[in-house]
Chains A and B, each alone.
Chain A
Amino acid sequence: MQGGRRSFLKMAGGTALAAGALPGITSCAERAGTHGTGKRLAMVVDLKVCSQHADCTECAKACHLAHNVPSFPKGEGALEPNVKYDEIKWIWKEDFEHAFPTEENHYLPARVTARQLPVLCNHCDNPPCVRVCPTKATFKRESDGIVMMDWHRCIGCRYCVVACPYGSRSFNWWNPRPYIAKINPQFPTRMKGVVEKCTFCEERIARNQKPACVEACPHGAMVFGDLNQEGSDVRMRLTSGFSIRRKPELGTQPEVYYLV
């Protein structure tokens, strides 16, 4: 009797464990590949348009001006603030081969590969940065999918910078304030020792404005909106042509799309 009860308990325990683990595994499997049914903000960059304007950096200029992003002087010395080691950027133009390191097709048209394209935080559906943050200083806003930052909670461990596959996060190696050309009083400055990145202009979205980069683009190459809303700008653009995303094989589900 004793043995019977014991083996029953073992079996029950094992079953309970399996029953507990199974939903965990299946939910992980489901997680990859969906962006929910609620509001899901996304961006589409039309490279056909953008690549025609090689020297244009209006998006980055507008963003960095609006968000008090510092610019460090050129220089080589590691002991002084300089752009080589310490650069902070929320959106910038990057070479095709760096933005898409695994797209190694030969003889791609020069309008795609020879030009730079804007890159920024992808506001992934499965953001690795959120997964690794030990203080929830970076988190995913459930209401619209924006990956947010709490600069007052960040301890500066930089685990998120290590985990981000897109190099979209910057750490303040120095006090940034002396290197901000013109401080925008509408937006907070950061301090040394915290990580920062693009927030899809959540402060502008709250005022029903478009993100600064989208608004600043003189050629209309950037489109922003709710991916889950039928007929939204981003949906129309995505159904109109072939788009690619950065490192989709990692399962992060980036929400910045590039029309090629």
Chain B
Amino acid sequence: MFEKALVGSRRYWLWILGLCAVIATGGICYLWQLRDGMGITGMSRDVTWGFYIAQFTFLVGVAASAVMVVLPYYLHNYKAFGRMTVLGEFLAVAACSMCLLFVMVDIGTPYRAINMLLHPTPNSILFWDAVVLNGYLLINATITRVSLVAERKGEHPPAWIKPIIYLSIPWAVSIHTVTAFLYCGLGARPFWFTAILAPRFLASAFASGPSFLILLIMVLRKFTRFDPGKEPIGKLAQIVTYGMLINLFFVALELFTAFYSGMPEHMIHFQYLFVGIGEHKELVPWMWASMTLAVVAVLMLLSPKVRGDYKLLTIACVLVFVSIWIDKGMGMVVGGFSPSTLGTITDYLPTVPEVLVSLAIYAVGFLMITVFYKIALSVRDEVA
């Protein structure tokens, strides 16, 4: 089936070539990191996790959101999502792969990563995160492969895949819950020490993932013959709206508990992110941008007119995606480290090689999505 990815227009090949160039650049930077050490990143003694782990956290959400197309179709028999489930599952496969890559580049001695399997440690949440992420990748890779083969033959997918699809639904919830547990079980870090972290991760995931899926569909509508129709896109837009509203509600809950209780170690991280402490203000504009984008996006999405208008909907989805990317990919992780456990602040900005390595991993993800979608849509064209 892979041969379908090897025939394409000039534009298709240019896109692939561009992605490969980004991957190669980041690859060289990664070799630099391997040779000299992780010191070439912006991370430090105090800000121990940075851009890599933040991207990982954000992308776990994108991966988990596949459940938002799978669940209505399989559990509620919502037929309009039928043509999109495979796209959601492919997105999950690509996002999961990116997650695993981001973890790998964040490890100081990657060739020892196998130690996690040689010495499995159930009391470590990182161990469980590796289990659920690899499991989710495997589940979705199997589902997409089996459904695509069946579609090509013009048959229904075999019955045995059904339980696996059902399993993928709670499993999607688990990947983001376990990822939140990485953070929220640490007494040392008051910013993350909140039971609402997992629900908040899920709510933001159910906004960012489906909004990204809408954007992908818009791209596909423009460049291919694929068009799922108005109804499923509108439904996805509703899901984004609810996800974003619940996400903002959860943020408000966090702010209330921190500031009404007046407990310094809970307030100070929000102060660092939103007003800065002393001369340390580098994240302030980002956080306000994220907040503003979120509010504007919600106000837009609340109107059925916007949700029905592809142009406005595209803008709203971009706003949602960028807002949550800033919140998870910039603020969430670094905010937990500043101030440090000793109350000091060390500035953190990702360095150029760090950003290039991250871009390369995103390019790998986009390459996977491109190839997957190309194969899936070619199979559909062939059958039609």
Contact = CB atoms under 8 A, between A and B. Distances in A.
- B interface: dominant SS: loop
B341 to A, nearest CB: 5
B158 interface: no
Nearest to B186: A163
A252 B187 contact: yes
Interface residues of B, number: 45
A225 interface: no
A121 to B, nearest CB: 13
B48 interface: yes
B109 A155 contact: yes
B123 A156 contact: no
A166 B41 CA distance: 23
A97 B342 CA distance: 8
Contacts of B351: 78-79
Interface string A84-111: 1111100000100111011000000000
A132 interface: yes
- A interface: dominant SS: loop
Interface string B26-40: 000000000011111
Contacts of A180: none
Contacts of B138: none
Contact of A157 (B36, B42, B45, B126): B126
Contacts of B265: 101-102
Nearest to A159: B126
A159 B103 CA distance: 12
Contacts of B121: 133-136
Nearest to A72: B39
Given A131-B123, A157-B107, A85 B112 contact: no
From B107, B125, B340, B342, name the one whose CB has the most chain A CB atoms within 10 angstroms.
B342
Given A158-B49, A159-B126, A167-B341, A128 B188 contact: yes
Interface in B24-68: 36-46, 48-49
B42 A78 contact: yes
Contacts of A86: 39, 44-45
B154 interface: no
B49 A134 contact: no
A162 B188 contact: yes
B346 interface: yes
A162 B48 contact: yes
A95 to B, nearest CB: 8
Contacts of A193: 37-38, 107-109
A109 B45 CA distance: 31
Interface in A107-143: 128, 131-137
From A79, A94, A99, name the one whose CB has the most chain B CB atoms within 10 angstroms.
A79
Contacts of A155: 107-110, 112-113, 115-116
A159 B192 CA distance: 14
B286 interface: no
Contact of B124 (A133, A154, A195): A133
Contacts, number: 144
Interface string A142-174: 000000000001111111011111110011111
Contacts of B45: 85-88, 167, 170-171
Interface in B318-371: 340-344, 346, 351
A74 interface: no
B186 A162 contact: yes
Nearest to A129: B188
A137 B42 CA distance: 25
B130 A134 contact: yes
B80 to A, nearest CB: 39
Interface in B88-138: 103, 106-110, 112-113, 115-116, 118-119, 121, 123-127, 130
Contacts of A79: 39-40, 351
Contacts of B266: none
B37 A173 contact: yes
B189 interface: yes
B49 A132 contact: no
Contacts of A134: 116, 121, 124, 126-127, 130
A156 B110 CA distance: 8
Interface string B214-253: 0000000000000000000000000000000000000000
A172 B108 contact: yes
Nearest to A131: B123
A194 interface: yes
Contacts of A133: 121, 124
Contacts of A191: 109
B37 A192 contact: yes
A98 B342 contact: yes
A171 B115 CA distance: 18
9 contacts: A97-B343, A101-B342, A128-B186, A154-B108, A155-B112, A167-B46, A167-B341, A193-B109, A250-B188
Given A86-B39, A94-B342, 20 more contacts: A85-B39, A85-B43, A85-B346, A86-B44, A88-B45, A101-B265, A128-B186, A128-B188, A131-B123, A132-B125, A133-B124, A134-B130, A155-B116, A156-B38, A157-B106, A157-B107, A165-B341, A173-B38, A173-B44, A175-B36
8 closest A-B pairs by beta carbon, nearest first, are A156-B108, A193-B108, A173-B39, A85-B44, A165-B188, A192-B37, A193-B109, A134-B126
